[in-house]
Chain A
Amino acid sequence: MPLACAQIGQKCTIKGFACSCNVRMRMVNMGFIPGSCIEVMNRINGTLVVRVGQSRLILDCCLATQIQVV
């Protein structure tokens, strides 16, 4: 499912990306690696705060729909 559909507090595993190469590599460089664990910590009007490893990252809702998780 898209990350945008995950609930606050839910932990998921990144499966892949449905976005351009540019965006994908930016995500990868910030720690969004397929197979890594991601937790949704907060959401305001669709914009998410997620935890990846020890990092906290803000993602807009559009980007969150392009990240596939299980």
Chain B
Amino acid sequence: MVMGEKKVTVALVGNPNAGKTTIFNNLTGARQHVGNYPGVTVEKKEGYRKFNDKEFFIVDLPGTYSLTAYSLEEVITRNFIVNDKPEMVIDIVDTSNLERNLYLTVQLLELERPAILALNMIDVANSTGLKIDDSKLSKYLGGISVIRTNGVGNEGMENLLESISKTNNNRNFSSFRLNYGKEIEAAIQNLEPLLTPLYKNIQFPTRWLALKLLENDTDIIESVQGLEGAQQALQMSNELRRELLRELGEDVEVFIAGQRYQFVGKVYQHAVDSRNVNAETISDKIDKFLTNRVFGLPIFFALMWLVFNLVFTLGAIPSDMIDAGFGAFGSYLDGIISDGPLKSLIVDGVVGGVGSVLVFIPSILLLFLAIAILEDTGYMARAAFIMDRVMRRFGLHGKSFIPLLLGFGCSATAMMGTRTLENPRDRIITMLVSPLMSCSAKLPVYTILIAAFFEEKIAGNVLFSIYLLGIILAMIMAWVFRTTLFEGESEPFVMELPPYRVPTFKSVLIHMWERSTLYLKKAGTIILAASILMWFLTTYPKDIEYAKDYDGLLAMAEEAYSEQVVKEVLLPLSIEELSENAKVATLVDVIQQEEESFLEQTKELEESSSEYSVLMAAKEQKKQQLEKENTEVYSYAEKYITLTQSLEENKANIGNEKSGENLEKSYAGQFGKAIEPAIRPLGFDWRIGISLVSGVTAKEVVVSTMGTIYSIGDGNENASSMTKALQKDEHMNPLVAYALMIFVLIYSPCLAALAVMKRETNSWKWPAVSFVYSTTLAWIVTFLIYQGGKLLGFGS
């Protein structure tokens, strides 16, 4: 902000789904910041906008239906308006549902701050035939400015900013005052004189304060209790409440709410013409199909299946490109950096570790995009409705469905999504089971193991079985928690069903980006740090005592090779070096090039495929042609190539053995050996143990650690080379692979998820419970699957 510019604080208030955030995004663009209100887990969004000669500081307050004290969002909204004293409050209403939205407007006006009414979604209201008389509306609401907006179409923003400037300059508070009937008004008149002296300590308007005391507002009573002179007011308000209960025949707060609704009804009658509005909306018509009693659930499952299939199919295309890119980058760095610890750190640690994880970002972004579309269209609320009864059977809340669905993207995001659950018990249960929804971080582990050990035709079923097991375990554990640790009634489920909307590209992208940033930050921080740490632990100590003389073995292999080449190739040709016979040397080059070309063309093909057969036939034909043209020297060239290939294989095996011993005697290897007895009953060895321990930092790191462990002299860290390395490991087989996937599915949530859980529950207790129960459950289930599989003859 430039010196001399006036800063105007503007608060955006409104019902959930009224379009506040869309308008906030329109007004602030990229100049926004998301955080939390101090001490609570309610999101706080702030941003800036310059208009004319002013800087507007815009605060997007939580969506709320009223300003009572029954939820954190309500208390935060009214406290912000009273304590922070924004220069302007913009009440954003969904014009197509005006009557219910005006209930909040009436309460806002009673807080006596300058306000503007933004009739948002005016396009939707117009399309239904609704006609609003803005001037009458303004008149009934104490002269408040009324501005028409269409947040989705970014219309009316300039008018809104203009109105903020004018109203701010004029300091024109609305002269609104709702008459609650003679009994309540008399009670307010009796209370107000006692409350006026408290104003210097608690700056709520006295009339509003009197109303809150009569409503028995616990938050206000708590704020007022300790103040000097408050006892008399509190005593009087209690007496007045008892009298009013007798006179009115119902609770004071219900009566007051009823009076507000009556007033709003009158305003609506006079200012709105709804004669042409159909009772049955387009959303109602769509819901007849999508939330049909018989077809609703099957349609929901079909939609979920479609979403997941599209995400993983479309995501595979850019993933393959990223995979190839990192492979090429790793090879390039391998060529330009001189050998040493730095090269090893960069190529094996950073590129190998982080690269194997970034490959899956396209699928993750697509999943969050799909979830954002489902939310912005309004279908997610329908899904919660359809799934409510199913969730309740397992002790979960209907609203738990949405965070659990988010869990398929990221557990940490799912835990943040539990903020919509008011009851702490429901929140904690949902947080404890959401990591069992197989998050996208675990997908790299499944993809690589399935590619290595399962045929393509059953790969989809194997993956589906993992996801399904996760869902089943989540339901079972939710029921267990509900009936043991969290006995008691669940919070009632009441939720607004928003109308279906065509989501805008911009809002969907923003929505997707907000969820994805947590995952992307994780890649750049935790995963990078974990990859570097794992590189260090698997590379050091360097000065180990080898069981064999590997250098000696290499020298012997070279010597044996040289002797055989002399004996079987050079002597028969009467030469001392291959280059002395140009024909043989050229033939060796040609045969090697043909072989390399064949391998390049067939590396992605199945041996049983027709393309492979065609290429093989072409190769054989070329070989026969070369043999015919070079009869006298062909056999020697072939022999030379065979001996050279044999030497390379020998050297590679010796190198692998040496690297394997390096790893076994590294810090990580020593730790893996120490925990191996605990995981051997699950079919795991010390290398898998290291990978699983590293996976506590972030599940993707299981893959990057396996990449480091199986890199074994190969500078190319891409997924296909890891698949081949896994297949060569004689300890690994389909049963062990499946057991490993199950363990990864169930065991401890990642560090990011545990950190979010700690923040959301304000305690280390629940992250500790989550870690212990999930790891124990993982051990038990994996043990049953592995041992059961062995008994049935799998895995041999």
Contact = CB atoms under 8 A, between A and B. Distances in A.
Interface string A30-63: 1101111000011111110100111111111111
Interface stretch (B283-291, B305-313, B526-534): B283-291
Contacts of B251: 21, 24
Contacts, number: 116
Interface string B222-263: 000000000000000000000000000011011001100100
Interface in B51-88: 65-66, 68, 70
Contacts of A34: 250, 254, 258
A58 B293 contact: no
B389 interface: yes
Given A42-B291, A44-B385, A30 B390 contact: no
Interface in B395-413: 398
B381 interface: yes
B39 interface: no
B384 interface: yes
Nearest to A17: B254
Given A34-B254, A59-B494, A60-B492, A29 B68 contact: yes
A60 B66 CA distance: 21
Contact of B497 (A19, A58, A66): A58
A56 B291 CA distance: 13
Given A29-B65, A45-B389, A53-B100, A58 B261 contact: no
Interface in B273-310: 283-284, 287, 291, 293, 296-297
B96 A60 contact: no
Contacts of A36: 261
A18 interface: no
Kindly state the interface size class of chain A when it binds its partner: 35 or more
B606 interface: no
B258 A58 contact: no
B575 to A, nearest CB: 86
B544 interface: no
Contacts of B388: 44-45, 47, 58, 60
Contacts of A45: 388-390
B398 A58 contact: yes
B496 interface: yes
B291 A29 contact: no
A23 interface: yes
A53 B272 CA distance: 14
A1 interface: no
Interface of B: 65-66, 68, 70, 96-100, 103, 250-251, 253-254, 257-258, 261, 283-284, 287, 291, 293, 296-297, 381, 384-386, 388-390, 392, 398, 492-497, 499
28 contacts: A25-B257, A31-B100, A31-B261, A33-B254, A42-B293, A44-B291, A44-B293, A44-B296, A44-B297, A44-B389, A45-B388, A47-B388, A49-B497, A53-B97, A54-B96, A54-B100, A55-B496, A56-B283, A56-B497, A58-B398, A58-B493, A58-B494, A58-B495, A58-B496, A58-B497, A60-B494, A63-B492, A63-B493
Listed from nearest, the 5 A-B pairs whose CB atoms lie closest are A45-B389, A60-B493, A56-B497, A29-B66, A63-B492
Given A52-B100, A60-B492, 17 more contacts: A29-B65, A30-B65, A31-B103, A44-B297, A44-B388, A44-B389, A49-B287, A53-B99, A53-B100, A54-B98, A55-B496, A56-B284, A58-B388, A59-B493, A59-B494, A61-B389, A63-B492
